[in-house]
Chain A
């Protein structure tokens, strides 16, 4: 279902601008929109029981064209941030991108949920209108349930003169410090990934900003009348993205809502380790005698799981690669980057500088050559694919051999050359996750750059480009992949019969 929706969005936006592929980056972007608009609003905000409402109201009415728009942008970007955050969480969960070494980003993301909600609730109180009054009283009553306060804090909200200006000074302080802590938490959230995407593509940024601006003008954010602690509002227009806990407290007791909050947090927190049957293949291992410290594996690892350390074995190189097992997701991209993975090596001692113990390069070469030897007929094709994308095993036929890898970027480009030149296949089809949606983040990008000779290890210039096809297909795109393969084979037959048709290189 999700893949179908994303497929439709790919048609509308293209893979580059598909918002679902940039939910994390959109979160960062919306946070900055909230920050910039918030700084502007803050310049006009006064702290005080009457001043807070009046200052916000004055700004909204008297300079609706800027202050009012900024206030609306502040609200709608905050709401969009929650929506994007929920979609981001659901997507990573549905696609299984939270297990193994990815637990760190997942767990820190769970913490961010509550931090963002706290900022939003706190922000609503600063307006000090009827909605703020309702939210403040219910949330404070909820906190009073915890056995940590000797005096119920809600009693300060029982009297019309119970609050003084310092409350709003405190709220302002929180509304600056919690976002700063949240920004710090954002940094921690992406700490264990390389090349984090924190800015969405420009087209998407403009699209979001423009749509937000339209909403701000069509439905400006307004206050709901000044708060009066002597009068219960009774009915309020709720921002359901942030303030949903307050109505919930009418249905459930404070204890039940706390149990829900702790239960959901705990469940989300332990999710990366559930169910226990999830097993990751063994992590990458470095073979020092085959490692020359070239750093390509460090450069290509999407999870900062390979680091360089001073040489320890006496060989005449400055550094050696070292795998950090806790961060390795066993994608094999490092092995695909290693220059010693080339299959043009003798059988004796064919070990790469960095290998997947359960899928060594010698084993992959043997599996590939075994398959290629069985191929019959014309337009013989070797298909390299990814375990997390379309199932290429179903493509196997008399004229088609397949080899599925944990990530397509585990494939050293020299394997393509090896298949074409040493085994005389007519063509090589590379497939994997959809463009910009690699299960292992960077795999699709790295392999494309390697084949375009923009990234090491590069595909050598002597390889006939028209015999290579890249087609990116998720598990929902198998039919399209089958059609593409057949079309590719037709093209290869044309090449064989001397026609000039060229193969497609990128989709």
Chain B
């Protein structure tokens, strides 16, 4: 018996566009990542909300996108 996943096409397209538009990657870039980004709402947590206008969704500390901004000290 094979399993065919049901994919929400609209959500798939939206997330594909988000990944592409932001150059999102699953690993840090040269020491920078969501974990040390201004827009990562809860810096002490491994997963948190990104409040950049392009995201407004959950991200991981180890991800990176081209909108990375330095967290203010």
A, B in one complex = no
List residues of B whose CB falls within 8 A of some A CB.
none
